[in-house]
Structure 1
Amino acid sequence: MARRLRPVGIDFVETAPVRLVFTRDVAAPPEAVFRALAEDVPGWAQWFTAVTQARPLDDGARREVRLKGGTRFEETVLAAKEAELYAYRVDETNAPGMRALAEEWRLTPAGTGTRVRWTFAADGPAPFRLVLKAARAGLGRSFRGAMAGLDRHIAA
């Protein structure tokens, strides 16, 4: 059953009760990373193994994402700044517990490649926040795997 989440703005990424931040360097330049994140939404399923399907909606202003295990998200893009920033919030999901969720992908040049910083910002009742904090290691592994997959995807 899909549930509507509280609409949040880009500032939520800095103020959320739970903020999980992960950083990884990739070989591709920021422009290529941005294109993979913001412009090739269906391509996410090729490099982010948790994603089984992603598609843009409303000319890219929104997205629909499906994860392994059946979790679904409908999202609104909050920011898309070429080669620097891509952020979105979840508007509707079938995942239990959360009240608000936003993600930010910040890109900075790192030599000839890109430093990717992913912030996963969420709110929910106390048990949800505890579970999410406990899931940090797993989300970190997923992010590292996704960045390795992104590098391979862009190089191909």
Structure 2
Amino acid sequence: MAHGLRPVGIGFVETAPVRLVFTHEMAAAPDAVFRALAEDVSGWPQWFSAVTSARATEGGREIRLRGGTRFQESVIAARAFEVYAYRVDVTNTPGARAWVEEWRLAPVGTGTLVRMTFALDGTGLFRAAARLARPGAGRALRTAVTALDHRLTHRSPPDPAPA
């Protein structure tokens, strides 16, 4: 059953009771990464395997994950080539009370250092489960960012010429 979460701002990323922070370096430039995150919302399922559906809405997004988890989100920060963050407003995740996900982008040579933070609050059981999920969330995020990097830096080969 879906329920509304407490509306929090970008500052919650620094004050949340549970913060899961992951970093990964990409070959793709920050502008390309930002566009993929913020502007190509419907493209998320093509590189983030946990996402089965992503749709931009007025001021936010609707996301569906494998296993049936759903999110209605509001974008709370979108500074080109620097940060993209959204707050979960409604979810069917039991025990969640407040949730922000922030993607920070920093140039590294010609590539990008991505720092992704899950900022969470909820019941004691929710907070404990979130902490236990850290290794799996880290693997999923590394896999997704690697897939996005490949998508942004490798063009599909041309179709072979007919014989």
Using structure 1 for the length normalisation, give the TM-score.
Answer: 0.97
Provide Cα deviations, 1:48-98, integer angstroms capped at 9, x if missing partner: 01000101001xx11000000010000000000000000000000111111
Whole-Å Cα distance in 2 between the matches of residues 17 and 127 of structure 1? 13
Whole-Å Cα distance in 2 between the matches of residues 42 and 136 of structure 1? 26
Q: Which amino acid aligns with 2:5?
A: L
Does residue 1:62 correspond to 2:63, yes or no?
Answer: no
The residue aligned with 1:99 is 97
**1:71-150 equivalences in 2 (<5 Å):** 71-150=69-148
The residue aligned with 2:3 is 3
The residue aligned with 1:39 is 39
Whole-Å Cα distance in 2 between the matches of residues 144 and 80 of structure 1? 22
Provide Cα deviations, 1:115-151, integer angstroms capped at 9, x if missing partner: 0000000001111111110110000000100111101
CA RMSD of aligned residues (A): 0.6
Does residue 1:27 correspond to 2:27, yes or no?
Answer: yes
After TM superposition, the runs of 4+ consecutive aligned structure 1 residues lying more than 4 A away are none
Q: Which amino acid aligns with 1:38?
A: A
Q: Could you list the runs of 5+ residues in structure 2 that have no partner in the other structure?
A: 156-163
- Rg bigger for which structure? 2
Q: Which amino acid aligns with 2:89?
A: D
Q: Secondary structure at the match of 2:116?
A: strand
The residue aligned with 2:158 is none
Q: Which amino acid aligns with 1:111?
A: G
Whole-Å Cα distance in 1 between the matches of residues 39 and 19 of structure 2? 25
Q: Secondary structure at the match of 1:99?
A: strand
Using structure 2 for the length normalisation, give the TM-score.
Answer: 0.93
Q: Which amino acid aligns with 1:33?
A: V
Provide Cα deviations, 1:6-27, integer angstroms capped at 9, x if missing partner: 0000000110000000000001
Whole-Å Cα distance in 1 between the matches of residues 129 and 15 of structure 2? 19
Whole-Å Cα distance in 2 between the matches of residues 65 and 100 of structure 1? 16
Q: Could you list the runs of 5+ residues in structure 1 that have no partner in the other structure?
A: none
Provide the identity percentage.
Answer: 63
